[in-house]
Structure 1
Amino acid sequence: MKKKNATLATRIQHFALQQINQASTYLTDASYDTDLAIHETRRCLKRLRAVLRLVKAGLKSKVYVRSNRYFRDQGRLLSALRDATVMQTTLAKLRKQSARALPASSWKMLRQELAAHSQTNNKKKVMATVAAQLGIARDLIENWNLELADETQLRRALRKTYRNNKRAMKQALAAPTVKNWHEWRKQINHLRYQLTILRDLKLISARDFLGDCKALAQILGLNNDLAVLSHHLPPPEKPGTQPIVQQLIQTEQSTFTNDATRLGQQLYKQTPKAFLNRIWPV
C-alpha cells in the first residue's frame, strides 16, 4: 500500500509540475498570442488549485495555505488582464446582436471608454512578473509531502467538492447576487478540473459527466463576463446610453441563468455519496 501511495504521490506531483512548465512556456514564448497565453496560464493555475484541494488532507496546514495563496494571487494578477479583453469581446457580441439599440457612435464611445480604463498596456509587464515567480511555485510543489495521498483521500476530496457545488447552486438560486453566481462558477470549475485531473491520472472515467461540467462552466462563465461588463460600464456620453446597455445585459443574463439552472439541477440531482459511487466505484 505504501508503494502504491508513493507512486500516486509521484504522479500527482509530476502533474502539478507539468502545469508550472506549461505556464512558463505560455508566458515566455513570444510566438503565443498574448490573450491566449494569459488564458492558458490562468487555466494552469486553476488546475494547480484544484489538485491542491484534492490532496489538502495530506498536507500540513501552513503548506496548503501558502501554496493556495500563491496560486490564487498569481491568478488574480492575470485576471485583471483577462477581464479587460473579455469586456471588449462581450460588448462586441452585444453590439452584433443588438446593433440598432444604440447609434454606432455610442457603441464606439463605449468601446473606447472601456479600453481607456483597462490594463492592456501592462500585459507584458504583468506576464513577466508572474513568469519570474514560477520558481517559487516549483519549490512549493517539490516540498509537498504526499506520502499520505491515497485514493480514499482523493475520493473524499472529490465528494466534498461535489457537495460544495450543490450548496453553491442552491445559494445562487435562493439569492441571485453577482457574488453568489460567481461562487457557483468557481465551484463548478473546481469540480471540472478535479475530474479532469483524476481522469488524466487514469483513476476515473467520467466522459459524459465531465462534458456536462464543462458546459455548465461555460454558461456560468458567459454570465460572469456580462456581470463584469455591467460593473465596469463607463458613464454614458449621452443620457440613456448606459440603461439601454444594462437592459441588453440583463436580457442575455436571463437566458444564461435559465440554462444554468436547468443543467445544474440535472448535474446535481444525486447525493454526494451516490455521485461518488457512480463516478469512482470501489
Structure 2
Amino acid sequence: MSKRSQAAQRLRPLWDELRAGDPQAVHEARKLTRRAQAELRVAEAGGKTERAWRDLRRAAAPLRDHDVAGGHLRDALVELSVPEETLAYFDRIWADRRAALLAGTTWPGRPPAFDLSRGWKGRARRLVQKDGRKLRREGEAALASGDPEQWHAWRKRLKRYRYTLALLEEVPPALTGTLEALGRLQDAEVVLGLLHADPDLLRYERARLIAREEVARQAAREQVRELFPALAAQLSEPDRQAQEQAGA
C-alpha cells in the first residue's frame, strides 16, 4: 500500500519560517531534503517532484553551511578567550553575510509533496542491499585517501542510505556515529576553506582558528576509522541475510 512522505508532512509546518530565513527552520528543512531524497528513490513520484526537492535543498544549503560555520567559529573564539569586542565584531559581520545570503535566496513557491507508491518496501530493501555493498567499497577507498571531496561524496551517499534504511528499521549506532564524525569533518573543511579563502576574516585569530579546525578534522577522521569495522558489518548485513534466506 502507499505511504505519505514523512519529509513532506514535516516540511509543511516549517514553510513560513523557512522562507523568512529562520535558522532552525533552515536546519530542519535541509535535513528533510535528505530524507525526501531517500523517499523519492522508492516513491516513483516523477521528475518534477524530484526537481522541486533538489531546488529546495540547493536554496537552503548556503544558509545552513553559513550557520554551521559561524557556530564553529564563534565557539572557537570563545574557547580562545578573545576580547568581547572581537566577538561583537564577528557577530556583526556574520549577520551581515547571512542577510546578504538570505536576500539572494530563491525559495520554491510552495512545499513539495508526494506519496510513496505501492511496493515501496520491496524497492527500499533492494536499494539498502545494493547501496550497502557499494558504500562499503567507497568507505574503504575514502579511508585510504586524503581527498576531502572523496570523503564528502561518501558522506552524502551514506546519509541517503541512512534515510533509506530508516524507512524499514532502526538506524544502528555505528551508522549514526559515523555520520556525526563525517559531519564534523565536513564542517572543519568548510571553516578551513573560509579562513584560507579570506585572509582578512578574523585575521588576528586566523592562525589559531586554522590550527583548531585542523585538529578537529584529524580527530573526526580517526573516529571514522575506529567506527568503520562496525559500519562495514552493518553495510554487509543485508547481503548476509539474503544469502541465509537463499540457503534455507
TM-score range, shorter chain: 0.7 to 0.9
Following TM superposition, by how much is the alpha carbon of 1:114 offset from its aligned partner in structure 2, in angstroms? 4.5
- Alignment TM-score, normalising by the size of structure 2: 0.80
Work out the CA distance in 2 between the residues paired with 1:24 and 1:271: 33
Counterpart residue number, 1:120? 99
Counterpart residue number, 1:3? none
SS at match of 2:233: coil
Query: Equivalent residues in 2 for 1:20-31 (5 A)?
Result: 20-28=8-16
**What's the CA shift string for 1:22-67, capped at 9, x where partnerless?**
212112259x992111111112211110112245xxx49xx3x544
Does the CA contact (< 8 Å) of 1:54 and 1:158 recur in 2?
no
Query: Equivalent residues in 2 for 1:1-282 (5 A)?
Result: 7=1, 10-11=2-3, 14=4, 16=5, 18-28=6-16, 34-55=22-43, 59=44, 63=46, 65-97=47-79, 99=80, 113-116=93-96, 118-123=97-102, 126=105, 129-130=107-108, 132-134=109-111, 137-138=112-113, 141=114, 146-147=117-118, 149=119, 151-199=121-169, 206=170, 209=172, 211-233=173-195, 234-236=198-200, 241-269=205-233, 272=236, 274-278=237-241
SS at match of 2:167: helix
For these two proteins, the number of residue pairs brought into alignment is 241
- The one-letter code of the counterpart of 1:50 is A
Work out the CA distance in 1 between the residues paired with 2:210 and 2:193: 10
Does the CA contact (< 8 Å) of 1:80 and 1:119 recur in 2?
no
Work out the CA distance in 2 between the residues paired with 1:169 and 1:180: 9
Following TM superposition, by how much is the alpha carbon of 1:96 offset from its aligned partner in structure 2, in angstroms? 3.7
**What's the CA shift string for 1:60-103, capped at 9, x where partnerless?**
9xx3x544333222111101111111111111232344x16x77
Distance 1:153 1:129, change over 3 A: closer
SS at match of 2:146: coil
Does the CA contact (< 8 Å) of 2:73 and 2:209 recur in 1?
no
Work out the CA distance in 2 between the residues paired with 1:195 and 1:189: 10
Show structure 1 runs of 5+ residues with no match: 1-6, 200-205
Distance 1:243 1:269, change over 3 A: same
SS at match of 2:199: coil
- The one-letter code of the counterpart of 1:129 is W
Work out the CA distance in 1 between the residues paired with 2:22 and 2:182: 24
- Alignment TM-score, normalising by the size of structure 1: 0.71
Following TM superposition, by how much is the alpha carbon of 1:185 offset from its aligned partner in structure 2, in angstroms? 1.6
SS at match of 1:213: helix
Misfit runs of 4+, over 4 Å = 102-116, 237-241, 276-279
- The one-letter code of the counterpart of 1:227 is E
Work out the CA distance in 1 between the residues paired with 2:92 and 2:156: 30
Work out the CA distance in 2 between the residues paired with 1:38 and 1:270: 31
